[in-house]
Structure 1
Amino acid sequence: MPNIAIRPAIAADAARICAIYNPYVEASTITFEEAPVSAAEMAGRIDAVHADGLPWLVLCRDGEVIGYAYATRWRARPAYRYAVESTVYLAEGAAGTGHGERLYRHLLDALGALGLHTVIGGIAQPNVRSVALHERLGFTKVAHFAEVGFKLGRWVDVAYWQLVLPAGPTH
């Protein structure tokens, strides 16, 4: 049985995170980035998320990073301070194993512990697996924007799912 661990990401994880992420960049519409991300750029992104007081987590199987999840601020205006957008990616072959749900639950727990109120997941369409994951976790579809991205020679829709966390500010 493999040893599974979830821990905060560090800059040294950046190259492995790029190895997971860049195939999505190059060959899918799951992300709207169009150029591969360097390890240095990814390390900067990890540091920026942590500097903003938000979690960036990695899921390791037998010591190897096979997935990651993090949150960023939803919008810059102060009244949005309790809302974040979530992101989760798994290495090829790790989908459908329960690892994504386990990782996402850890992220949601960490966000709740920080007193955040709303988590928003944007999903390029179609993406049956990601939609199913979000809905299993209690997210509700709240918006659908048609043809807002153009990648790989076609227009892509993006839909949003929202989860109101059980903890958070009441004022």
Structure 2
Amino acid sequence: MPSERTEVQVRPGAEGDLEALTEIYNHYVRETSITFDTVVFTPEERRPWLLSHPEDGPYRLMVATAADSQEILGYATSSPYRVKPAYSTSVETTVYVAPEAGRRGIGTLLYTALFEALAGEDLHRAYAGIAQPNEASTRLHERFGFRYVGTYREVGRKFGRYWDVAWYERPL
């Protein structure tokens, strides 16, 4: 388990990160309503997702690692908002932090690096859907200038109940 004082580095994601990134994501699939995936992934099943986030362009993957051990502490992505061409200047962003690395500012470091990387891209807006309730994610997004635009009520069913998703946007 990383200590509170571990220095953190943020870098673009790489293929060698696939297993650790899959493990982090699967925690949220199994244990939370934060993602609406309901079945865990193998690293091989997750490979197309990783490959869809190159080191340049509007769709990025940033990874936070412990400086001493290179253990992956979390990641942030920008992904296509929707597939139709008119949406090409919009991205959906998200952050996932390893469960043992929460409440240490990892999400802030990841979003800082992600938005710096996106600054030169032909993008107009970033969107984030936050399954409710999730006060920590709401605070993180508001800290980065996201503003609430509406809620899809009972849009996802997981763990035998329906969940709302609040949508936020920010200019890029």
TM-score, length of structure 1 as denominator length: 0.91
Task: Find the aligned partners of 2:17 and 2:100 in 1 and give their Cα distance.
Answer: 19
Contact 2:89–2:125 (Cα < 8 Å) also in 1? yes
**CA–CA separation in structure 2 for the residues paired with 1:26 and 1:67:** 17
Shift of 1:43: 2.2
Stretches of structure 2 lacking an aligned partner (at least 5 in a row): none
How is 1:37-76 mapped onto 2 (pairs within 5 angstroms)?
A: 37-50=41-54, 53=57, 54-61=59-66, 62=68, 63-76=70-83
Give the secondary-structure state (helix, strand or coil) at the position aligned to 1:129.
helix
Match of 2:105 among 98, 102, 117: 98
Q: Where do residues 59-138 of structure 1 align in structure 2 (5 Å cutoff)?
A: 59-61=64-66, 62=68, 63-138=70-145
Instruction: Give, as a single letter, the amino acid of the residue that structure 2 aligns with 1:125.
Output: Q
Identical residues among aligned pairs (%): 39
For 1:92 and 1:73, the matched residues in 2 are separated by: 26
**Cα distance per residue 1:38-83 (max 9 Å; x no partner):** 1112222110222993211100013111100111111122221110
- Count of residue correspondences: 165
8 Å CA contact 2:12–2:55 kept in 1: the answer is no
Letter in 1 for 2:147: T
- Is 1:25–1:31's contact at 8 Å kept on the other side of the alignment? yes
Task: Report the TM-score when normalising by structure 2.
Answer: 0.91
- The list of structure 1 runs, each at least 4 consecutive aligned residues, that deviate by more than 4 angstroms after superposition, is none
Moved more, 105-114 or 30-39: 105-114
